[in-house]
Chains A and B, each alone.
Chain A
Amino acid sequence: GQSLEQPSEVTAVEGAIVQINCTYQTSGFYGLSWYQQHDGGAPTFLSYNALDGLEETGRFSSFLSRSDSYGYLLLQELQMKDSASYFCAVRAYNQGGKLIFGQGTELSVKP
């Protein structure tokens, strides 16, 4: 089976940098995705790593290391509007389009 582990909560201050980790146990997957979800809102796609290494999209970066079974989302220059839940997800081999999500990390950005 597959499982993804994330910290349940992270707190940081405005302007800071925060890293949200995702460790996984899976036999094989196509890539690691990250989604943001504000309270009562839809999960919104942020980033995707198909290969090992760093992907940068504006203030957000995502990293994957398949050899370490580990990835992370890095948020820079934090803003209050970044307060949300963040989910990592994978699409496993031989499971078609099904996404498997972590439990999510609730990020609180303080002034």
Chain B
Amino acid sequence: GAGVSQTPSNKVTEKGKYVELRCDPISGHTALYWYRQSLGQGPEFLIYFQGTGAADDSGLPNDRFFAVRPEGSVSTLKIQRTERGDSAVYLCASSLNVQETQYFGPGTRLLVL
């Protein structure tokens, strides 16, 4: 079956702009996660959803970052007033529930100029 998909695969933007990154989880997976990965590092947790609600957003670096999952399926990560330090790969994962294995998408490579 289809895995986790993310769009766009690459995004180049200018400092100060707003960006939206989209994640389509595996069908039927109730839990959805966002991570950020910098070059040579492991993924770092940002936020996860159980259904439509954000169960833990403790990893969001500041209030410029926001994520939604209005219908309990697709999720959008929104970054306002982007900064050069936001440049990274943003990974999305989903799992059947929070106890089960997380399956990752290919990521969105964000470059802020």
Contacts and interface: CB of A to CB of B under 8 A. Distances in A.
Contacts of B91: 42-43
Interface residues of B, number: 29
Interface residues of A, number: 21
A103 B42 contact: yes
A95 B50 CA distance: 13
B55 A43 contact: no
Interface stretch (B14-22, B66-74, B76-84, B103-111): B103-111
A42 B42 contact: no
Given A42-B91, A43-B91, A104-B40, A98 B45 contact: yes
Interface of A: 30, 33, 35, 41-45, 48, 87, 89, 95-104
Interface of B: 3-4, 31, 33, 35, 40-45, 48, 50, 55-56, 58-59, 91, 93, 95, 98-99, 101-107
